[in-house]
Amino acid sequence: MFKLRGVVPPMITPFDHQGNLDLDNLEKLLLFLKDKVDGVYICGSYGSGPMMNVDERKQVAEMAIKVLDGKIRVVAHTGATNTRDTVELTRHAEAIGCDAAAAATSGAGPTWRGRRNGRQEGRPERPVSLRFGQEVQALLWRVATAVRWW
């Protein structure tokens, strides 16, 4: 298992004026970053991942793997609004050679069990449940403000 180290920025995803992926500028951005950082974090919220469909996210990951050619790490955000797409994207990330897949738990909100000491208790309605293969590192986290769990 590798340890993610160094500078691994969340990368934006370029689009054209019609809202389509701009693959030419995506390639230019990846080439620009290739010699300047230790890895890239693709398709996260900063990179408009949640607003892209599954095929677009796969295209971004495939381009990153092709252009970066193993020189720096590729972490693909594979979290989606449903478990089926999350699993599909994670399996794809593993199959094409991403170094890690990252997913946040559902933003659907917790199932409240009551209050204790003035604080609400609960747990996510649908925890992330994924089976990862041997070759991809899994990065899972819960964004407290997104799931209202505090």
Domain boundaries, the chain: 23-147
Q: What are phi and psi of 50, to 5 degrees?
A: -65, -20
What does the pLDDT read at residue 103? 81
Short-list 10, 53, 1, 7, CA closest to 29: 10
Q: Which residue has the tokens 């794809």?
A: 92
Looking at residue 73, its pLDDT comes to 93
Buried b vs exposed e over 89-111: b needs ≥16 C-beta within 10 Å? bbbbbbebbbbbbbbbbbeeebe
Q: Where are the beta strands (DSSP E) in the chain?
A: 39-42, 73-77, 100-104, 110-116, 119-124, 137-141
Question: How far is Cα of residue 49 from the mean position of the Cα atoms in its chain?
Answer: 7
Residue 3 confidence (pLDDT): 74
pTM for the structure as a whole: 0.74
| Alpha carbon distance 131, 19 (integer Å) | 33
Each residue's pLDDT, cut to its tens digit, for the chain (150 residues) gives 567 788 999 999 999 999 999 999 999 999 999 999 999 999 998 899 989 999 999 999 999 999 999 999 999 999 888 888 988 999 999 999 998 888 875 544 433 343 444 444 444 333 344 444 445 555 555 555 555 544
Distance CA 93, CA 118 (A): 42
Q: How far apart are CA 109 and CA 86, in angstroms?
A: 18
**Cα 33 to Cα 92: distance, rounded to the nearest angstrom:** 23
So what's the architecture of 23-147 in CATH?
Answer: Alpha-Beta Barrel (3.20)
Q: How far apart are CA 129 and CA 96, in angstroms?
A: 21
10, 47 Cβ separation under 8 angstroms: yes
